[in-house]
Amino acid sequence: MQIVEAKANGQSRVDITSYAELYKNELLHNVLPFWEKHSRDEVNGGFFTCLNREGKVYDTDKFMWLQGRQVWCFSYMYHNIEWRKEWMDMALLGAGFMEKHGRDENGNWYFSTTAEGKPLIQPYNIFSDCFAAMGFAALDKILPTDRYKEIAVNTFENILRRQNNWKGKYNKSFEGTRSLKSFSLPMILCNLSIELEHLLGTQRVNSFIPTVIHEVMDVFYQQDHGLILENVYADGSFCNSFEGRLLNPGHAIEAMWFIMDLGKRLNDQALIQKACDIMLHTLEHGWDKTFGGIFYFMDVLNNPPLQLEWDQKLWWVHVEALVALAKGYALTGDDRCLRWFEKVHDYSWKHFRDEAYGEWFGYLDRRGDVLLNAKGGKWKGCFHIPRALYQVWKTFENID
């Protein structure tokens, strides 16, 4: 969908207001209704996320990180857009299932359960905990209770305890041979602590921020390449291995809008500009010059990537880029952000959005053809698209 450009000072300029309205309507009239209609488990509670193109359930397993994300989504929309009872009901449906079935005896969140709530996969993945904390913190904002607060805070404290060895006994690496640390957790903690600020207190959240910014912008960001690596040695140095050379452009771009938000909070324009520049460089590096779209994985030294899916085009990568570009433009006025926004917008709305059955596809091949036409599964749920639509809508709406 191409937005008509408006004339300003004799020059062509994107109509920001039209973008804001488009993204608002897509959120409220397409994406959220799809999940409200199709994902509810009325028998056991919680959400089905394995939905085919039409929204029919094709697998009933439940993944805790997607349950937490959907609780967050409907709580957030209730808190920030409108007090719709049906949105609170959705959040409570997921939270009730999670509270009853989601954790082991030590408070660690399982990766998955059956539809009824019997554990299937052990709590090896700390991102189940991250999004459980995020979900219950958001729910506490709209329905404050000691119970939700306790779940969110205890889970967050557990994340901090586990952060240096978060896989624990489920870690397959041989200790001491190649000790790498991953970008994923610092990236998420960057945003998670802000989500829990009303529970943790501003002073404590502020104490996290310098460490998070340092990790993201000084340790994982490698000046030699101008790119953010997914894995580095414990001391921040480069590891010339499959894992050490790995780039995930989507992760880096998403992290940069987190950092821009922190820069705005700190009134640090230099930090905002640096994050914006890194984001733009990552996008230029990760853009497929032949077929369009952003590559899923790359090798920083241009060796063959380990991941066979490296050239796929994924939904979350592109919508997170749209958020980062909108924020980059709003906070810096850099026209490169606006030009890139139009380019990523046109690609995303043409290839991912499903005109026939609603919501968006998740997986395209390199040429931009739909690879899997399901709307959800083990990895895709009700999170990245609604969050991105909201963020772009509000970011553009608030530009003077």
Quick: pLDDT tens for 205-229: 999 899 999 999 999 999 999 999 9
1-38+181-400 under CATH 3.40.50.300, yes or no: no
In whole angstroms, give the CA distance from residue 95 to residue 343.
38
Could you give phi then psi for residue 366, rounded to 5 degrees?
-60, -35
Domain 39-165, CATH class in plain words:
mainly alpha
| Domain limits, the chain | 1-38+181-400, 39-165
Alpha carbon distance 265, 205 (integer Å):
12
DSSP state at residue 387: H
pLDDT digits (tens, 9 = 90+) for 300-349: 999 999 999 999 999 999 999 999 999 999 999 999 999 999 999 999 99
Amino acid (1-letter code) at residue 316: W
Q: Which residue has 């606006």 as its token pair?
A: 338
The predicted pLDDT at position 14 comes to 62
For residue 68, give the amino acid letter: G
H or E element in which residue 6 lies: strand 5-8
Helix or strand or coil: residue 161? Answer: helix
Please give the average per-residue pLDDT across 248-277, as a whole number. Answer: 97
Locate 3 and state its tokens: 């937005």
* Single-letter code of the amino acid located at 299: D
CA 277 to chain centre: 20
Cα separation of 126 and 349, whole Å? 32
pLDDT tens profile 117-142: 999 999 998 999 999 999 999 999 99
Residue 381 has pLDDT above 90, yes or no: yes
**Residues forming a β-bridge with 231:** 182
pTM: 0.95
Residue 1 clears pLDDT 60, i.e. is over it: no
Q: Tokens in use for 59?
A: 């697998």
Taking the C-alpha atoms of residue 315 and residue 353, their distance in angstroms, rounded to an integer, is 9
Write the pLDDT tens digit of every residue in 18-70: 999 999 999 999 999 999 999 999 999 999 999 999 999 999 999 999 999 99
Tens of pLDDT along 160-187? 998 877 677 777 788 888 889 999 888 7
3-class secondary structure, 370:
strand
What are the backbone angles phi and psi of residue 180, rounded to the nearest 5°? -115, 150
Token pair in block for residue 33:
């209704």
Quickly state the pLDDT bin for 4 (edges 50, 70, 90): very low
Q: Are 340 and 280 in contact (CB under 8 A)?
A: yes
CA–CA gap between residue 255 and residue 348 (Å, rounded):
20
Rg (CA), the chain: 20
Tell me what pLDDT residue 6 has. 45
- The secondary structure of 134-148, three-state, reads HHHHHHHHHCCCHHH
Q: Is the confidence at residue 235, as pLDDT, over 80?
A: yes
Angle at 297 between CA 306 and CA 276, to 5 degrees: 150
Q: What is the mean pLDDT of the chain?
A: 94
Write down the pLDDT at residue 190: 77
Q: 39-165: same fold as 1-38+181-400?
A: yes
